[in-house]
Amino acid sequence: MKTYLAASVSQIDNQKFALQKLDSALKSQTDANQVLTDRNADMTSKNHDLFHKNHELEDAVRKLQQTIDNLNVQNEHLEHDRDHYRDDLANEQKRCSELEDQIKALQAELDEKNRLYITIEKKLQITITKVKALQGQYDALDKKYHE
């Protein structure tokens, strides 16, 4: 019976040692679980923050896309206006060119009329000179005749 008791005590010691090892392993596992729980809580918090940041970024992207769309519409309007103004400018340049041609034609006509006027003016001066000479001759003849 002593052997039985000694075997039982030895078995109890072995079981006690095994229980101590299991208790130590359980404490290690509990500590590891706590570390994992803390990490999980930290990751959950970070995930929550990232979720909110993601929504903020999505909102910012939507606003930027809306701004881009608005700028594209404005650009289309400006391109249309530019094309319209280019057409107007081309029409105005054509009209100015036509007016310049008309001015040149009128200037040539005016120059021709001025040349004619100068020629007539010279002929008129010659005629006036001749008339004055004739008037002088007439006056001389008339004076002679009345004497």
Residue the block writes with tokens 């290690």: 28
> In this predicted structure, what is the pLDDT of residue 7?
65
Nearest to residue 88, comparing CAs of 96, 76, 77? 96
% of the chain residues with pLDDT over 70: 95
Q: In angstroms, what CA-CA distances link 145 with 101, 130, 136, 137? A: 63, 22, 14, 12
- Amino acid letter for position 11: Q
Per-residue pLDDT reduced to its tens digit, 87-109: 999 999 999 999 999 999 999 99
pTM of the model: 0.49
